[in-house]
Amino acid sequence: MNETVISIRIDKGAKEQMSRYNSINWSALLRKALLDHLARLERENQQKMETAAKKMENIRKRGTFNGGKSGAEIIREWRDKRH
């Protein structure tokens, strides 16, 4: 595995508390917490992308943007409707 080193700052009180539990591999614990958090973020992002894709598909199926117009023409039309 290709690894890199990162460092974090914690207050002295937290460091003193950690020192009381020297049997804990703090690096491994923090590494796992980071990876778990990243995995959760990836799942959330995937769900958001899937939801967005479904919404876009529903919009496409409704035919709202059909009619042979370019994207620029549709944008101009909607902008003109606002005024």
Q: What is the pLDDT of residues 34-79, one digit of tens each?
A: 999 999 999 999 999 999 999 988 887 777 666 677 778 888 888 9
Q: What is the pLDDT of residues 2-21, one digit of tens each?
A: 999 999 999 999 999 999 99
Check residue 57 and give its pLDDT. 87
pTM listed for this prediction = 0.64
Instruction: Find the helix or strand (DSSP H, E) in which 69 lies.
Output: none
64 DSSP assignment: T
- Residue 56 makes CB contacts below 8 A (sequence gap 6+) with none
CA 21, CA 17: separation in Å to the nearest integer? 7
Check residue 52 and give its pLDDT. 96
